[in-house]
Amino acid sequence: MLKFPLWRMIAVVLLANTAALYLVVGNSGAPDATLQLTERELRVTNLGTDTTGMTLTLQWDRNTVMPWFDRAKLASLGFDCSTSPDAADAPDDYSTPRVLPRSAYVVFDYDPGGIPVSGQADAPQPPQSSMGGRAVDKAPAEFAPRLRPIDAGTDPRLLRARYTDRHRYLITAGTVRPTVVRANANRPARVQGQVLWIDPSQVYVPQDMQGTIVAAVGKDVGQLPLPAPLRRLPRYEVTLEYGSRWLPRVVGIKILK
């Protein structure tokens, strides 16, 4: 049996701690954004145990129509959009593995008083859950997330210069891809962008704030691999900051009456 030298084990631990410290320090300073989100946007996915921490998963409105996410926008993100959406082989040309998803920074608009925007019948549908291969059930509109993607780019600083309200516009890393929407009686075929996921999608709840979440939702939530749709009034509000490296951190939690 091969032995792993002690000095190498120590080096691995030190390297991991140094990397973690670098991310924490690099993400410090004046926040890029500070938002007051509720259970509609931050769902409990893990109440935590002795070995795992409590986490919340960021939710956004996946049914929002995104006319801005067209061929020109996709091309600006580096996708080859030369194939016409009317071409017979367009669905194959814009699908994996011919076109792989790409990383991008996505701008989300958070308007707590806004009216939910319903998706259109021919709009691309969000990807199915990896948990069991079932599509995610929709939440009632009055309890649906109020974060909506409104733009994407490769430089978060340029996006912030365009969307200056740091209490309304959230900028985070994500993964996007193109898809073909077939023609119907109302509109021709088109290439449409999709936001597959954001990174990171989960945020750790500091230990001294976890009791507030438990007091709000109870301990019967259990371990949730995927948040079920919210079908009740939100029970807590989270103050979420995104640091200078566009990484989220929870800085405050309160129970909603």
Read off the DSSP letter of residue 108.
E
Residue 52 exposed, middle or buried by CB count within 10 Å (0-12, 13-18, 19+) = exposed
SS3 content of the chain, % helix, strand, coil (to 5): 20, 30, 50
Residue 19: inside a domain, yes or no? no
Q: Which domain holds residue 199?
A: 29-255
pLDDT at 53: 83
Q: What does pTM read for this prediction?
A: 0.79
**What is the reported pLDDT for 148?**
96
Q: pLDDT for 53-111, tens place per residue?
A: 889 999 999 988 999 999 999 999 999 999 999 999 999 999 888 899 999 999 999 98
| Position with higher pLDDT, 139 vs 239 | 239
Tell me what the mean pLDDT of segment 185-209 comes to.
93
Q: What does the alpha-carbon distance between residue 138 and residue 228 come to, in Å, rounded to a whole number?
A: 9
Residue-level pLDDT at 78: 96
Q: Any residues with CB less than 8 A from the CB of 173 and at least 6 apart, and which?
A: 103, 104, 105, 106, 198, 199, 246
Say if residue 180's pLDDT is above 80. yes
Q: Is 49 exposed, middle or buried (0-12, 13-18, 19+ CB in 10 A)?
A: exposed
Give the pairing of strands 102-110 and 169-181. antiparallel
In a domain, 118, yes or no: yes
pLDDT at residue number 218: 82
Where does the pLDDT of residue 223 fall: very low under 50, low under 70, confident under 90, or very high at 90 and above?
A: low
Inter-residue contact 134 to 128 (CB < 8 Å): yes
- How many domains are there within the chain? 1
At 3, the pLDDT band (50, 70, 90 cuts) reads low
Q: Which amino acid is it at 152?
A: A
Q: Tens of pLDDT along 12-56?
A: 444 544 443 344 445 567 899 999 999 999 998 877 665 568 899
**Quick check: is 163 in a domain?**
yes
194-219: burial string, b at 16+ Cβ within 10 Å, e else: bbebbeebbbbbeeebbebbeebbee
User: What DSSP string runs through 128-159?
Assistant: PPTTTTPPPPPPPGGGS--EEEEEEES-HHHH
Look at residue 257 in the predicted model and tell me its pLDDT.
81
Whether 12 is in a domain gets the answer no
Query: pLDDT: is 215 or 4 the higher one?
Result: 215
The mean per-residue pLDDT over the stretch 146-158 comes to 97
How many residues would you count in the chain? 257
